[in-house]
Structure 1
Amino acid sequence: MLDQGNTAFVLIMAALVLFMTPGLAFFYGGLVKAKSVISMMMMSFGAIALVGVLWVLYGYAIAFANHGAGTNVAGIVGFFSIDWNQIGLGQAFEESQASTINAAYPSMAFVGFQATFAIITVALISGAIADRAKFGAWMVFAGVWVTVVYFPVASWVFNLTSGMFATWGVIDFAGGTAVHINAGAAGLALAIVLGKRVGFAKGAHKPHNPPFVLLGAAILWFGWFGFNAGSEGAADGVAALAWVNTLAAPAAAILGWLLIEKIKDGKATSVGAASGAVTGLVAITPACAALTPGWGILLGFLAGIVCCFAIDWKYKLGFDDSLDVVGVHLVGGIFGTLYLGIFADGTGLIYSGSFEQLGKQAVAAAAVLVYSFVLAFVIGFAIEKTIGFRVKTEDEVAGIDTAVHGEEGYVLYEERDETPVAVR
């Protein structure tokens, strides 16, 4: 008989994860300059629209080929496969409409939950190319990248029936590799393809709206409980552990980030607090169900310190990752993934005395990083050389909201008969 409690749990968690993408829009929107806020937020909403459709049409069929009762699978199982019965969610629909379902939840609930992961992963990439990307080119990139990179990588990580990582024994409970390393590597590739912003230098680009940043981080944190606890697929003890770690690690990461900020710059900032929270969330994602809360706190604190330093690497290495997708998501995702090799309950080095788990985690992280970076670079380069990915320099300097979307984020007055009139 269908477990209605677990069904409700999965559906609610899916809604929380979907809410993360508008939260990301606020987080990223507050970090850019005022005349680029609409462009930045629209890339997140564009991801919701495009990826939501592609997931239903064929994304689930690729990511979860041979999952459950898949019987018409073509391709290399475990690497890149497609279940033709799931095109348009035909088989999932039939399973969910069955009169008697003996499962924790219907297939369509799982479909919806995983769709939100695909959406947020694509949206994360956009922060690396803030202030200088064409919306149409971004949408082309998003559609191609999610098809040839995210859907297959999601199969490696989340398809416990035949995914490569499940076979290898890799621990990634909620997507440290599939989401954060994946998006971070793609963001690095696009930052290189599009080049530096006009006037790129440390301190040259200040966040225009720190309250937006804090609001976005708060929404992300709220939704992340669905991201991590919901990955268990049941309202049980594992989900509860993931929930507690999703509270503890980001809280500790804020402290670690602010400590380094105070030492480096003399001030602990609101943007630093928000960035620290997101860093802790990134790092705990793969590890939330495999660490005791004490080790979760240590992970968050260390991740906050490491990533606070990592965001300055772009100035030393010469790539313009506008909103620190590399420093937070790539570095934080790698850190959290490798941390499991040492501290994972039962299999980590300190418990088993073996480096085997660390080796598995390292191979998984490297595989996703290289696969995503190479393909993202090729896709981005092809778009730049054909339809063009970057806006004109004059539009970038002026702010791209008006040029790309014909709108302004902040209209403070209207002109009527050449007399400014306050908008109430």
Structure 2
Amino acid sequence: MASAITTLAADAPTLSAANTGFMLICSALVMLMTPGLAFFYGGMVRVKSSLNMLMMSFISLGIVTILWVLYGFSLAFGTDSGSLIGWNSDYVGLSGIGITELWDGYTIPVYVFAVFQLMFAVITPALISGALADRVKFGAWALFTALWVTAVYFPVAHWVWGSGGWLFEMGVIDFAGGTAVHINAGAAALGVILVIGKRVGFKKDPMRPHSLPLVMLGAGLLWFGWFGFNAGSWLGNDDGVGAVMFVNTQVATAAAMLAWLGYEKLRHGSFTTLGAASGAVAGLVAITPAGGAVSPLGAIAVGAIAGVLCAMAVGLKYKFGYDDSLDVVGVHLVGGIAGSLLVGLFATGGVQSDVAGLFYGGGLEQLGKQAIGVFSVLAYSLVASALLAFLLDKTIGMRVTEDDEVAGIDQVEHAETAYDFSGAGGGAASRSTAAPTPSAASKKVDA
């Protein structure tokens, strides 16, 4: 008996300073992704909407953080109830957690796991905001964010990642958020825009990005932060799986960027900076669910397929008439679907688990599971998000007025503008304030 107890004690996980530090760094990297997303989206809109776009991401850092501490972590990762939701009173307010209490089965504290998952919860509603550019009241958006994470994100996170969640128990593979984050956000974006309608001038007025350098900066920050997003999702660094995910993140992103640019050149005749940035994000999205299951060669395939599919998908809004302002549906929904389903084809069975995809002798079973995960999250998020938007629109109103939209949502909603040119110099103002320098001709006349 004593020897058995000794063995069990020896096998029990102990706090790892290395893994704890690694996960804290990963958490900080994921936090950086939300400001990166703000810059990415902020550069893609017109000048008169850029501050609003930044704020729609930044406000998520405030709202979701508080709700996560109060009850979100408990709903997402508490003790399972009916395979649909969790609850643990010790997690309410994070008040009943010991500072060295370990997350079950791992060598990191519960606090570290909670803060890492918080950053996923923060960025997911921020992703939705890109579809709604130029036309949503900021107060209504803030309330929608609070309601949406409560009714949609927290339950879906439990389905996918929570012990006892029905998709988790089914064996759906989602390494870092293809379903819970990207399909969830993309489907929500589609649901909301179907309710609130198009921007004034959609398909008529030019709506070009006002700052492509800002877009590229945002894409670079997203790419950088995504290494924490993906590699950190293994919750440790002991067995090499996180390292494979890190490599696959880089490889798939590169492949998707090149594939998008190649499609763009063939289809439109140019290699654009917006295409490079969008292709990179498409690759990051697609590899998120798949990167722990595929080899680097598989990651190339995942990235290349997603790059082409997402490049093709962004034009669907003009064909079908839904106004997805910054292509959240085309990139995050389509990229998330592609990456999640491709697990069923390219999983090697030799990285995060022994589950193999169709191309590695595993048959169609895993592909079927992935499809169930994809379309269940898509359907739930689409319907629930549309319902929330409808209720808010009928009560407090979701949209600014047409006149306010045309005038510029930054000035109307925030009483600010992104750029102040009054002190920039040059032009008539500069000439009127500068002391004149007499020319030779004027000197001659004066003489």
Q: What TM bracket, shorter-length normalisation?
A: over 0.9
Q: Distance in 2 between matches of 1:2 and 1:202?
A: 59
Aligned letter for 1:222? F
Shift of 1:202: 7.3
Query: For 1:367-382, what aligned pairs fall within 5 Å after superposition?
Result: 367-382=376-391
Q: Distance in 2 between matches of 1:25 and 1:234?
A: 29
Query: For 1:177-216, what aligned pairs fall within 5 Å after superposition?
Result: 177-201=179-203, 204-216=206-218
Q: Which residue does 1:316 correspond to in 2?
A: 319
For residues 218-276 of structure 1, the C-alpha deviation after alignment (integer angstroms, 9 at most, x for no partner) is: 00000000000000111230000000001000100011100111111111100000000
Shift of 1:102: 9.7
Aligned CA distance change for structure 1 residues 23 and 157 (closer, same or farther; 3 Å):
same
Pairing 1:390–2:402 present: no
Aligned letter for 2:227? F
- 1:414–1:420 Cα contact (<8 Å) kept: no
Aligned letter for 2:372? V
For residues 373-400 of structure 1, the C-alpha deviation after alignment (integer angstroms, 9 at most, x for no partner) is: 0000000011111111011111111211
Shift of 1:165: 1.8
For residues 348-383 of structure 1, the C-alpha deviation after alignment (integer angstroms, 9 at most, x for no partner) is: 011224111000000000010001000000000111
Aligned letter for 1:83? N
Aligned CA distance change for structure 1 residues 157 and 202 (closer, same or farther; 3 Å):
farther
Aligned letter for 2:267? K
- 1:117–1:179 Cα contact (<8 Å) kept: yes
Q: Distance in 2 between matches of 1:189 and 1:157?
A: 21
Aligned CA distance change for structure 1 residues 14 and 193 (closer, same or farther; 3 Å):
same
Q: Which residue does 1:33 correspond to in 2?
A: 46
Shift of 1:420: 4.3
Q: Distance in 1 between matches of 2:267 and 2:394?
A: 41
Pairing 1:90–2:98 present: no
Secondary structure, aligned partner of 1:255 = helix
1:366 to 375, 385, 388: 375
Aligned letter for 2:115? G
Shift of 1:81: 2.9
Q: Distance in 1 between matches of 2:220 and 2:327?
A: 18
- 1:413–1:421 Cα contact (<8 Å) kept: no
Aligned letter for 1:391? V
Aligned letter for 1:183? A
Secondary structure, aligned partner of 1:81 = strand
Q: Which residue does 2:288 correspond to in 1?
A: 285
Kindly name which structure, 1 or 2, has the bigger radius of gyration based on alpha carbons.
2
- 1:2–1:102 Cα contact (<8 Å) kept: no
Secondary structure, aligned partner of 1:322 = coil
Shift of 1:298: 1.0
Q: Distance in 1 between matches of 2:319 and 2:417?
A: 34
For residues 322-354 of structure 1, the C-alpha deviation after alignment (integer angstroms, 9 at most, x for no partner) is: 000000000000000000111111220112241
Q: Which residue does 2:227 correspond to in 1?
A: 225
Aligned letter for 1:255? L
Pairing 1:344–2:347 present: yes
2:30 to 17, 23, 26: 17
Aligned letter for 1:180? H
- 1:157–1:164 Cα contact (<8 Å) kept: yes
Unpaired segments ≥5 residues, structure 1: 67-72
Pairing 1:407–2:412 present: no
TM-score calculated relative to the size of structure 2: 0.88
Shift of 1:414: 4.7
Aligned CA distance change for structure 1 residues 186 and 97 (closer, same or farther; 3 Å):
same
- 1:414–1:421 Cα contact (<8 Å) kept: no
Aligned CA distance change for structure 1 residues 220 and 203 (closer, same or farther; 3 Å):
farther
Query: For 1:243-258, what aligned pairs fall within 5 Å after superposition?
Result: 243-258=246-261
Shift of 1:103: 5.3
Pairing 1:327–2:330 present: yes
Aligned letter for 2:123? I
- 2:252–2:299 Cα contact (<8 Å) kept: yes
Secondary structure, aligned partner of 1:285 = helix
Aligned CA distance change for structure 1 residues 297 and 98 (closer, same or farther; 3 Å):
closer
Quick one: percent identity of the two aligned structures?
Answer: 54
- 2:294–2:347 Cα contact (<8 Å) kept: yes
Q: Which residue does 2:112 correspond to in 1?
A: 109
Secondary structure, aligned partner of 1:286 = helix
TM-score calculated relative to the size of structure 1: 0.93
Unpaired segments ≥5 residues, structure 2: 1-13, 350-355, 432-447
Q: Distance in 1 between matches of 2:82 and 2:176?
A: 22
Aligned letter for 1:336? G
- 1:310–1:327 Cα contact (<8 Å) kept: yes
Pairing 1:133–2:136 present: yes
- 2:23–2:116 Cα contact (<8 Å) kept: yes
After TM superposition, what 4+ stretches of structure 1 lie above 6 angstroms from structure 2?
none
Q: Which residue does 1:261 correspond to in 2?
A: 264
Aligned CA distance change for structure 1 residues 202 and 115 (closer, same or farther; 3 Å):
farther
Q: Distance in 2 between matches of 1:368 and 1:102?
A: 27
How many residues align structurally? Answer: 408
Q: Distance in 2 between matches of 1:18 and 1:143?
A: 18
